[in-house]
Chains A and B, each alone.
Chain A
Amino acid sequence: MKSFTTVTGVVAPMDRANVDTDMIMPKQFLKSIKRSGFGPFMFDELRYLDVGKPDMDCSKRAKNPDFPLNFERYQGAEILLARENFGCGSSREHAPWAIEDYGFRAMIAPSFADIFFNNSFKNGLLPIVLDAAIVDELFKEMYATEGYQLTVDLEAQLIRKSNGDEIPFEVDAFRKHCLLNGLDDIGITLQDADAIRKFEKNWQQKSPWLFGAMQ
C-alpha cells in the first residue's frame, strides 16, 4: 500500500448526496480479476457519452462536457470534495480502487458509507469527515477559485488552505498509523497469530459444530 503523509493538490467536486458505488464503478467493470486499471472507468456513466465496456481505450471515447471531472480546471485533481453518504451501496472495493487509480489521494465529505469508508483506508486513500457547513464552505471556495488547492497533512490531522487557514480532522489511530507507514493489515494481524490460535482452541471446545462441518 502507498503511504500517505502530506498531499497538496487540486480539489475537484462530486456535488451530490448519496453517491453510490454502482455510480463510481458500474458492474460491467467488476468482471476483472485484477486490482488495477479501474481509474479510466471511474464514474463511467456520468463521464462518457457512450456505454462503457471493460476493454475500451477510454482516451478515444467521447466525454460528457457537462461532467465536472472533465473540466480543464479539475484535471490532475488529487482531492475529491463530496456530499453526504458518499460511497453507499455495494461493498465492491473496485470503487476505491478506481478513485485511487484515477489519482485521488484524499476525499472530503460530511459522511461516508461504512463499508466504502473502511475499504478506502486499505488502499492508501484517506476519507476525511468534516461538518456539513465546512464542506459547504469548501465547495463555495472551490467553485469561486480556479485551480483551488488544499493540503492534507495526515500526521498533524490538518487541512491547510493556501491562505494559511487550518481545519482539523479526526482519524482513528490505527488507520492513521497504517496509512502513514503504508502498512499491510494482514502482516500486523499475523503478529497476533498466537492470540488467534489460543482463542480458536477455546472456541472450538465451546462450539465444536463450528469446525469441520463443511469438509
Chain B
Amino acid sequence: MAGKTLYDKLWDAHLVKQRDDGTALIYIDRQLVHEVTSPQAFEGLRLAGRPLWRSDANLATPDHNVPSLKSERDGGVAGIVEDISRIQVQTLDDNCDEFGVTEFQINDVRQGIVHVIGPEQGATLPGMTVVCGDSHTATHGALGALAHGIGTSEVEHALATQCLIQKKMKNMLVKVEGELNPGVTPKDVILAIIGEIGTAGGNGHAIEFGGSVFRNMSMEGRMTVCNMAIEGGARVGMVAVDQTTLDYVEGRPFSPKGEDWDKALEYWHTLHSDDDAVFDRVVEIDAAAIVPQVTWGNSPEMVTGVNGTVPKPDDIADPSQKAAIERALDYMGLTGGMSITDIKLDCVFIGSCTNSRIEDLRAAASVAKGNKVADTVKRVLVVPGSGLVKKMAEKEGLDKIFLDAGMEWREPSCSMCLAMNSDKLGEGEHCASTSNRNFEGRQGFGGRTHLVSPEMAAAAAIAGHFVDVRDVINA
C-alpha cells in the first residue's frame, strides 16, 4: 500500500464519520471569525435556537472594515465614520459577547488580519483543521495544518456542530527545487506557480508545496505562498512540518506548553508526506528560472516577469483567450507589447494577509531606506497585519523609514486589498499592490491593480514605475 500524503494524514486524523454517499464529517479544531462573513451565521444560530458546539474553538477579530487611519481608529468602534461598517463591527462584538467567543476587538494590540493573528498567537497550529469565512484561510496550511475558506452557511455549520460535511479532494504536489535568485521572494514564487498552473489549475485539489525552496523558506514566506493557493484554484495549500515550523510555533501565547508541548511534538513530527505517497498531480518548477513577477491583467494568472512585456492579443490563437486579454488590456489601460517597466504607478499598497508580516515590512523598508517616493506617485500606504506587527516594526524603526520616504504608516486592517474601509483606488489609477487579487474593481471602482512582492512595491514607489528590484539591490 502506498504511503500517505500530508493531506491524507490530516484528513484521516479528523474523520468523524464516512458516509455511504461519499461525503464525510470532518472535525474542525479552529474557526477564525471576522465581521463580514459571520453576522448571518450568528443570526442563523439565534433563529434556530442553536448554541455553539464549543465556544473555545473560535477566535474572532474585526479586520475587513476597520479604518486604517489613526484619527478614525482612535475612537474605537464608535469612531468608525461609515454607518454600515460600524454596525458590522459592532455586530461582531455583540455576537462574540452573546455566544462567548474570544475576540480581539478593534483597538486591542492583538487585533489584526485574521490570517496574520492566527499563527502569531499560536491560535492556529500544526495538525489542526482550520476554517474561516475567508478564502485566504489556506495561509495557515503553512504550519502543516489543513486550512481552507468556507462560506457563511458553513461558518454557521462549524459553529453549531464543530464539523463540516466534506468530500475528499485530490492530492497535488507543487515542487520547486533549486535556489531562488536574490530579489526573488515567496510572493514571486507563488505568482510564478499561478502563472504556470492557471487560476483554475488547482480546482478540486489540496496543494502541498514541496521541494528545497519551501524547505529553505521562512514560516512567514510559507504563509505568503499558501495564502495564494486559492488564486491557483485550490482551497487548501500546505507545507510539511519541519524545524522551521516548530521554532516558529514555540512560545506563542496559545501554543502548547510543558508536557503538552512534548506530546504535540510527537504528533507534529509525523506531519509530512511519506516518501512513497502518491499525488494525483505533480507540477515541477525550477527555482532558478523565477524572476520578480508583476501581474498586468485582471486575473492572477495574467502575470509575467518584470523584464517581460504585456502580451499582444494578436499573437494569441485561441479566440476566448484573445478576448479575455483584450478585455483586460482595455480595463487596465495597457497596450500589448509594452514593457512592464513602462507601467507608471499612481499608488502603492504594502499590506494584506499575503504580505503584511514583519519580514514583509523589513523587506519593503530595506528598499525604501534613504529614498523618496516619486513625485508622480500620489499615495503609498503601508499597513501592518496586526497591532503586534506594528509594534515590532516601530521598535525596529521601520515606521520612520517609511515616513521619511514619504509613505503613510497605517493601523492594522485589510485596507486597500479589498477597499472595504475608506482606502480605495480612484478610477483609472494604477497600483503596485502586495495583495492577492487583481480583479476588476477589487481595490476601488475602476482601479487597476498590479500584484507584486513588498520589495518590488517599494522599488516601484520610489521609481514611479516598475523596476527590476534585483537592479536596486545590486546597485
Residues of A at the B interface (CB closer than 8 Å) are 16-18, 20, 22-23, 26-28, 30-35, 45, 51, 54, 83-85, 88-93, 96, 111, 113-115, 118-119, 122-123, 172-174, 177, 185-186, 188-190, 192-193, 195-196, 199-200, 203, 206-215
**Cα separation A213 to B258 with both chains bound (whole Å):** 13
Among listed B36-44, B283-291, B370-378, interface-contacting one:
B36-44
B91 engages A172 (CB within 8 Å): no
- Given the interface pairs A114-B233, A119-B151, A209-B263, the reply to whether A91 lies near B135 with Cβ below 8 Å is yes
Inter-subunit contact A210/B128 (CB<8 Å): yes
Which of these, B230, B324, B420, contacts A27 with CB under 8 Å?
Answer: B420
* 29 A-B pairs whose Cβ atoms sit less than 8 Å apart in the complex: A16-B324, A16-B327, A20-B437, A23-B439, A31-B85, A31-B88, A33-B40, A83-B320, A91-B134, A91-B137, A91-B151, A111-B203, A113-B200, A114-B235, A123-B153, A185-B153, A186-B48, A186-B50, A186-B157, A190-B160, A195-B16, A196-B25, A199-B27, A208-B260, A208-B263, A209-B261, A210-B128, A213-B122, A215-B55
Assembled-state Cα–Cα distance A185/B88 (Å):
26
List, in ascending order, chain B residues with CB within 8 A of A23's CB.
439-441
B156 near A: Cβ within 8 Å? yes
Given the complex of chains A and B, what is the CA–CA distance between A114 and B400 in angstroms? 43
Stretch from B161-169, B271-279, B461-469 that touches the partner: B161-169
- Known contacts A88-B233, A185-B165; A33 and B43 CB within 8 A of each other: yes
Closest to A175 in B: B23
Q: Assess whether A18 is in contact with B200, with CB atoms less than 8 Å apart.
A: yes
If A45-B445, A172-B21, A186-B50 touch, does A214 touch B133 (CB 8 Å cutoff)? no
B233 with A172: CB separation less than 8 A: no
CB of B199 within 8 A of CB of A85, answer: yes
Residues of B within 8 A of A185 (CB): 153, 157, 165
B36 in contact with A17 (CB, 8 Å): no
Shortest B205–chain A CB gap in Å is 9
Across the interface, do A211 and B263 meet the contact criterion of CB distance under 8 Å? no
Q: Which residue of A lies closest to B254 (CB)?
A: A213
A17–B419 alpha-carbon span in the complex (Å): 24
Query: Could you tell me if B87 and A173 are in contact, using CB atoms closer than 8 angstroms?
Result: no
The answer to whether A186 touches B156 (Cβ under 8 A) is yes
CB of B452 within 8 A of chain A?
A: no
Q: Quick check: is B19 within 8 A (CB to CB) of the other chain?
A: yes
Q: Residues 61-92 of chain B: 1 if any A CB is under 8 Å from the residue's CB, otherwise 0?
A: 00011000000000000000010110110010
**Beta-carbon contact of A22 and B151 below 8 Å:** no
Interchain CB contact under 8 A, A92 and B19: no
B396 within 8 A of partner (CB): no
Query: Is B180 interfacial (CB-CB < 8 Å)?
Result: no
Which residues of B are at the interface with A, using a C-beta cutoff of 8 A?
Answer: 16-17, 19, 21-23, 25, 27, 29-30, 36-37, 39-40, 43, 48, 50, 53-56, 59, 64-65, 82, 84-85, 87-88, 91, 102, 122-123, 125, 127-128, 133-135, 137, 148-154, 156-157, 160-163, 165, 167, 199-200, 203-204, 230, 233-235, 254-256, 260-261, 263-264, 267, 299, 320, 323-324, 327, 418-420, 437, 439-442, 445
**Alpha-carbon distance A16/B298, docked complex (angstroms):** 12
B37 touches A92 (CB 8 A): yes
Q: Decide: A88 near B199, CB < 8 A? Known: A186-B50, A189-B163.
A: yes
Contact A209 B16 (CB under 8 A): no
CA distance A165 to B39 in the complex (A): 45
Which of A16, A45, A114 contacts B204, CB < 8 Å? A114
* Residues on the A chain within 8 Å of B85, using CB: 31
B36 touches A31 (CB 8 A): yes
Q: Looking at the complex, which one of A35, A115, A118, A211 makes contact with B40 (CB distance below 8 Å)?
A: A35
Residues on B with C-beta less than 8 A from A195 are: 16-17, 25
> Which residues does chain B contribute within 8 Å of A33, judged by CB atoms?
39-40, 43, 87-88, 91
Q: Are A17 and B324 in contact (CB under 8 A)?
A: yes
Q: Is the CB of B151 within 8 A of A118?
A: yes
Q: A88 touches which one: B27, B48, B200 (CB < 8 A)?
A: B200
> Would B267 and A115 count as touching, CB distance under 8 A?
no
- Quick check: A85 and B200 within 8 Å, CB to CB? yes
Evaluate contact between A196 and B163: CB separation under 8 angstroms: yes
6 further interface pairs, Cβ-Cβ under 8 Å (given A91-B133, A114-B233, A215-B56): A31-B420, A186-B160, A190-B160, A192-B16, A199-B16, A210-B128
- CB-based contact B260/A89 at 8 Å: no
A33–B36 alpha-carbon span in the complex (Å): 8
Give the residue name and chain of the B residue nearest to A118 (CB). Answer: B151
